[in-house]
Amino acid sequence: MSVSLSYPHDPSSNAPRPLAAETVWAVAAQLREAVARRESPWAIDPKDLVAAATRLEVNRHRVDVHWDFAHAVHDEDRQPVLGICETDPTAPGIALVSINTALLANRPDLMLSTVAHELGHVVFDVPAATRQPARRYRSVSAGPHSFDGATVREERRANEFMGALLVPPVPLHLRLVAHARAERLRMVHAPHHGRVGCRVLARDTAPEAVGGVISALAGDFGVSDRFIAVRLQRYRLIEGGRL
């Protein structure tokens, strides 16, 4: 059974139109609904994510995703990368996704985020990749690589999709409120992208208290502290946060 996803696109090329962050979040929410969460109401297991994303229907076009966790993965310069999404014009509608398990064996949070990042490329880049081979990878470090403008946009979009898929705004906000109340931290009214009617964490909260809440949230969602910090900022869940 395939998962159906949709977003504004050019019908002639299947390429995404310029998408606001909220639109990317909505696409991630479509996929998240199809992922089983057997052990946690908040965190996603990479195996469950892969199981849900083997056959997709993106803007009414079928995409079959072939996953490989058994081989080392390199970029064009033979440098190791965390994951890669490839397409071949001789096999339209197929995405070949390889995850560098050897680099990720002791980092379950990084394994999860890499799978989700590459899925972002599958969802937004594969439907339009019909004319020539294409490769999109998640590097170990951004330092050695230089990207053109289009690739930078694709990478940012894949990261935004990854973030909203693993840590959506409303569930994150609900858990933030729960932890803040448990610690008796001050919450205030401010604009945000989370649960309607809920307050956000006050900007004058002590840094050590913020750090404690971030660590608790990271445990809830199975990601790193840094991952949570970025999502809190993106959703404006700490007073004064901005997009």
- Of 166, 188, 206, the residue at which a domain comes to its end is 166
Same domain membership, residue 100 and residue 188: no
- Of 114, 133, 166, the residue at which a domain comes to its end is 166
| Paired strand residues for 56 | 3, 63
User: Residue range 38-66: average pLDDT?
Assistant: 94
Which is higher by pLDDT, 234 or 143? 234
Same domain membership, residue 162 and residue 67: yes
Give which of 111, 102, 110 is closest to 74, Cα–Cα. 102
Q: Is residue 145 part of a domain?
A: yes
Q: Is residue 53 part of a domain?
A: yes
Q: Is residue 241 part of a domain?
A: no
Q: Is residue 101 part of a domain?
A: yes
Same domain membership, residue 124 and residue 106: yes
Query: What strands lie across the sheet with 81-87, from one edge to the other?
Result: 3-5, 55-58, 61-68, 94-99, 81-87, 134-139
Give which of 68, 61, 181 is closest to 130, Cα–Cα. 61
Same domain membership, residue 116 and residue 194: no
Same domain membership, residue 119 and residue 50: yes
**Amino acid, single-letter form, for residue 78:** R
d(C-alpha 177, C-alpha 119), whole Å? 30
Same domain membership, residue 107 and residue 151: yes
d(C-alpha 161, C-alpha 171), whole Å? 16
- Of 136, 166, 196, the residue at which a domain comes to its end is 166
Same domain membership, residue 44 and residue 109: yes
> What would the pLDDT profile of 156-207 be if each residue is shown by its tens digit?
999 999 999 999 999 999 999 999 999 999 999 999 999 999 999 999 999 9
> Structural domain of residue 155, as residue ranges?
3-166
Please give the C-alpha separations between residue 136 and each of 8, 35, 186, 196, in angstroms, as whole numbers.
Answer: 21, 23, 43, 36
Q: Is residue 240 part of a domain?
A: no
Split into its structural domains, the chain has a count of 2
Report residue 170 as tokens: 């409303």
> What confidence category does residue 144 fall into, taking pLDDT thresholds of 50, 70 and 90?
very low
> What confidence category does residue 143 fall into, taking pLDDT thresholds of 50, 70 and 90?
very low
> What confidence category does residue 136 fall into, taking pLDDT thresholds of 50, 70 and 90?
confident
Q: Is residue 242 part of a domain?
A: no
Same domain membership, residue 71 and residue 136: yes
Same domain membership, residue 227 and residue 204: yes
Quick one: pLDDT at residue 151? 73
d(C-alpha 185, C-alpha 179), whole Å? 9
> What confidence category does residue 147 fall into, taking pLDDT thresholds of 50, 70 and 90?
very low
d(C-alpha 66, C-alpha 158), whole Å? 18
Q: What is the DSSP letter of 74?
A: B
> What confidence category does residue 2 fall into, taking pLDDT thresholds of 50, 70 and 90?
confident
Q: Is residue 211 part of a domain?
A: yes
pTM for this one?
0.92
d(C-alpha 93, C-alpha 127), whole Å? 7
Same domain membership, residue 24 and residue 140: yes
Same domain membership, residue 176 and residue 160: no
DSSP of 181-224: HHTT--EE----SSSTT--EE-TTS-HHHHHHHHHHHHHHHTS-
| Residue labelled with tokens 């009414």 | 60
